[in-house]
């Protein structure tokens, strides 16, 4: 709890906060880090295997094999989420399952599955984009800022 919020607590509330903090179970930080490393590493290894598959059997180069690899990883994540397996992986591996592409696909698929009873437009579509919207907006905005900085640096460097 921040010190600003703590100052606003009454003495009884502060005493309760101290009481609760003393009895809170310690998180196994090292074990959680190892699990996240293992799960994230396995997901990335699978992705690398898929990329090598495309490079070996379909004559893609390293750059062009990236797009179908991402598509396959998203598809795997969606399938595993829809049958309930990805949630167990995420529960065990924690942050390691949030590897960008698969974690994002899991989040969007979970939102769609949770709200499908509300209909396709307001339920599935609306709730999927509640989650995806901020990510897409900040991604586009960040790309815009980086592009402006690059243009400025390039134009100043060329003078």
SS3 106: helix
109 CB-near residues (< 8 Å, 6+ apart): 77, 78, 81, 82
Tell me what pLDDT residue 108 has.
83
Distances (CA, A) of 26 to 52, 86, 96, 121: 42, 26, 20, 43
Question: Residues 99, 108: contact at Cβ < 8 Å?
Answer: no
- 55-92 pLDDT, tens digit per residue, is 999 999 999 999 999 999 999 999 999 999 999 999 99
Distance (Å, whole) CA 124 – CA 154: 44
DSSP state letter for 24 = S
Q: What are phi and psi of 133, to 5 degrees?
A: -55, -55
Percent of the chain with pLDDT over 70: 94
Average pLDDT over residues 104-109: 85
Question: Residues 124, 112: contact at Cβ < 8 Å?
Answer: yes
Mean pLDDT score of the chain: 88
Residue positions counted in the chain: 159
Tell me what pLDDT residue 32 has.
95
Of 21-25, 65-69, 126-130, which one has max mean pLDDT?
65-69
Q: pLDDT at residue 151 above 90?
A: yes
For residue 125, the number of C-alpha atoms closer than 13 Å in the C-beta half-sphere is 4
**3-state SS record for 107-159:** HHHHHHHHCHHHCHHHHHHHHHHHHHHHHHHHHHHHHHHHHHHHHHHHHHHCC
Tell me what pLDDT residue 69 has.
96
């Amino acid at each position: 709890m921040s010190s600003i919020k703590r100052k606003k607590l009454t003495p009884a509330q502060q005493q309760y906060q101290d009481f609760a903090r003393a009895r809170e179970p310690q998180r196994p930080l090292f074990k959680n880090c190892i699990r996240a490393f293992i799960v994230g590493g396995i997901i990335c290894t699978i992705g690398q295997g898929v990329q090598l598959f495309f490079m070996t059997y379909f004559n893609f180069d390293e750059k062009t094999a990236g797009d179908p690899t991402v598509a396959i990883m998203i598809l795997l994540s969606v399938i595993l989420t829809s049958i309930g397996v990805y949630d167990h992986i995420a529960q065990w591996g924690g942050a390691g399952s949030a590897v960008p592409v698969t974690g994002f696909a899991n989040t969007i698929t979970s939102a769609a599955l949770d709200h499908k009873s509300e209909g396709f437009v307001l339920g599935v579509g609306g709730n999927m984009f509640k989650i995806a919207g901020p990510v897409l907006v900040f991604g586009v905005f960040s790309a815009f800022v980086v592009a402006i900085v690059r243009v400025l640096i390039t134009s100043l460097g060329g003078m």
